[in-house]
């Protein structure tokens, strides 16, 4: 499943910014994430719109799966960032703790994770969960 958004739609990452000024350019490949938190937000948005290619591209080459099959029945609708350590434009690693909210089979569910990120050739990549 792939859900398209216009540039004026509210961004799924719940930043309060419209898609065209938030995660849209990252998913389109016209801008890189400046921080680990920005990459985390864009990855959530990729799950929300069903963009498996972006998820694979933003995954660290050392931990990235060969393929990724997204579950079309999940509706990712909210992201809460609890903390972010490191991950600035001047650092090589960062951590983001978050809760992602989704609906599955009519039930509201959550996923809480502490994600690790690393810069590879100047670009933030998702390494994995702690």
**pLDDT tens-digit readout, 6-46:** 999 999 999 999 999 999 999 999 999 999 999 999 999 99
- How far apart are alpha carbons 41 and 53 in whole angstroms? 16
For residue 43, report the phi and psi dihedrals to the nearest 5 degrees.
-70, -40
Under a CB-based contact definition with an 8 Å cutoff, are residues 48 and 29 in contact?
no
The rounded mean pLDDT for the chain is 96
Query: CATH number of the domain at 19-129, please?
Result: 3.10.450.50
pLDDT > 50? residue 1: no
């Amino acid at each position: 499943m792939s859900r398209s958004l216009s540039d004026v739609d509210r961004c799924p990452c719940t930043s309060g910014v419209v898609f065209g000024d938030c995660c849209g350019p990252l998913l389109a490949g016209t801008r890189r994430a400046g921080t680990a938190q920005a990459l985390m937000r864009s990855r959530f948005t990729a799950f929300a719109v069903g963009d498996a290619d972006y998820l694979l591209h933003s995954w660290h080459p050392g931990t990235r799966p060969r393929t990724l099959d997204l579950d079309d029945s999940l509706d990712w609708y909210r992201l809460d960032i609890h903390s972010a350590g490191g991950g600035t434009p001047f650092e090589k690693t960062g951590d983001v703790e978050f809760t992602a909210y989704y609906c599955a089979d009519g039930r509201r569910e959550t996923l809480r994770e502490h994600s690790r990120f690393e810069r590879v050739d100047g670009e933030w990549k998702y390494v994995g969960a702690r």
